[in-house]
């Protein structure tokens, strides 16, 4: 009971004090307005990373009875970019499917040439393993990634087919630019 008595007496003092203070000191008016002649503007833009180009017909080399088979891609990096900015990707379900980096593949170690004259990259068929077999076409693509923005270019792509047995009937063809 003593607690409620203290609360009641506190409220009896606080409520009249709050009423008196709000009457004596009313809130001040503000001067806020919107003006139509003031405006803000901004802009935004996009960065387009040029795609690498294929500068020669790709080739499929079947090796000996399919051993040592590889696909050779002739390509050139766009101006301002080099092999260090490039990434090799492959499709996992044939042409037109999603591209993903080829795990365990070192593009720099399997590429010769330079930015001025172009590059020759060899992709060993054993790396393509289960992806490339029994007449299935596989898309191999090279993209360029801008080191500053992190954006990636469209791909320069080839389609490769390992043939049916031991690389016989294997082929490679350049795909049109996307």
Q: Can you give the residue range of the structural domain that contains 147? A: 53-174
Coil, helix or strand at residue 94: coil
Number of domains in the chain: 1
Q: List pLDDT tens digits, range 164-173.
A: 666 667 789 9
Is the residue at 99 inside a domain? yes
Is the residue at 11 inside a domain? no
Supply the pTM of this predicted model: 0.67
Is the residue at 39 inside a domain? no
The CATH number covering residue 157 comes to 2.60.40
Q: How far is CA 172 from the centre of its chain?
A: 26
Using alpha carbons only, give the angle 155, 159, 163 rounded to the nearest 5 degrees: 160
Is the residue at 37 inside a domain? no
Is the residue at 33 inside a domain? no
Is the residue at 44 inside a domain? no
Closest CA to 62 of 126, 149, 157, 137: 126
Q: List pLDDT tens digits, range 54-92.
A: 999 999 888 776 677 889 999 999 999 999 999 999 886
């Amino acid at each position: 009971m003593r607690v409620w008595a203290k609360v009641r007496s506190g409220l009896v003092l606080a409520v009249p004090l709050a009423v008196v203070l709000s009457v004596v000191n009313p809130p001040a008016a503000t001067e806020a307005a919107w003006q139509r002649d003031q405006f803000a503007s901004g802009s935004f833009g996009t960065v387009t990373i040029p795609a690498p180009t294929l500068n020669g017909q790709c080739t499929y080399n079947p090796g000996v009875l399919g051993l040592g088979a590889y696909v050779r891609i002739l390509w050139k990096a766009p101006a301002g970019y080099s092999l260090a900015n490039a990434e090799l990707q492959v499709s996992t379900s044939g042409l037109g499917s999603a591209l993903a980096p080829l795990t365990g593949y070192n593009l720099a170690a399997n590429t010769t040439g330079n930015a001025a004259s172009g590059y020759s990259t060899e992709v060993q068929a054993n790396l393509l393993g289960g992806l490339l077999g029994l007449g299935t076409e596989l898309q191999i693509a090279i993209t360029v990634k801008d080191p500053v923005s992190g954006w990636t270019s469209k791909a320069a792509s080839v389609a490769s087919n390992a043939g049916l047995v031991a690389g016989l009937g294997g082929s490679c063809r350049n795909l049109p630019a996307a």
